[in-house]
Amino acid sequence: MGHHGRLADESHIATAGSSTLVLLRDDITLQNTDAIVNAANSGLLGGGGVDGAIHRAGGPEILRQCREIRAGSGRCPPGAAVITGGGNLPARFVIHAVGPVWHGGSANEREILRKTYDACLTLALSNDIRSLSFPSISTGAYRFPAEEAARIAFVTVRQRIEPLSEPMEIRFIVFSEYDEQIYRQLFAEYSSQTN
């Protein structure tokens, strides 16, 4: 299937409508999907975690385009996303998405995280992107609880792509074994509902 790293086995694949959802424990910068999603911050000028990794691997062209967007439209609020080219990455595009910082759960964090995933899919669909890799947005430096974040990610993506007639491939890219287990559980629950 052209995946980098470990081949996904059955517990790492689910279908939604005509589309495929894939779970991979891997480095998102290596993904050969049309686009990868960056867990960016509002400033769009780079940061640590997955953001740092994407800019390091993708080279300066991505940051140049981010600066241009920043100069034209200002900061990107939580829940929103912008798109640039992929620079030196295998992916043609990077969707820079700003998730919520977790403040304990009463600051609308869940709804903002849902909007963040939704904004990525809207950009993907309007740019003819048929395959897309997501990191686990907000669950690193932004401290969103991983289990709840994964559920929001999975449900939001599924609901959005289920009705599409054109097939898409969506990869959930996790870094830790713990995150992989969380997503695997979601995949298993969903597959047992639909079979």
For residues 107 and 47, the answer to whether their CB atoms sit within 8 Å is no
Stretch that binds ligand ADP, among 3-11, 46-54, 60-68, 69-77 (CB under 6 A): 46-54
Identity of the residue, 151 or 191, whose beta carbon is nearer to ligand ADP in the bound complex = 151
Task: Report phi then psi at 91, rounded to 5.
Answer: -75, 145
Which are the contacts of 149, defined by CB distance < 8 A and separation ≥ 6? 113, 136, 137, 138, 139
Nearer to ligand ADP, 42 or 191 (CB): 42
| Alpha-carbon distances, residue 66 vs 58, 108, 147, 154 (angstroms) | 12, 27, 30, 27
Q: Least distance from C-beta 86 to ligand ADP, angstroms?
A: 14
How far apart are CB 127 and ligand ADP at their closest, in Å?
A: 21
One character per residue 115-154, x = contact with ligand ADP (rule: CB under 6 A): --------------------xxxxxxxx------------
Tokens representing residue 163 in the block: 């009705």
Site string for ligand ADP, 149-178 (x = CB under 6 A): ------------------------x-xx--
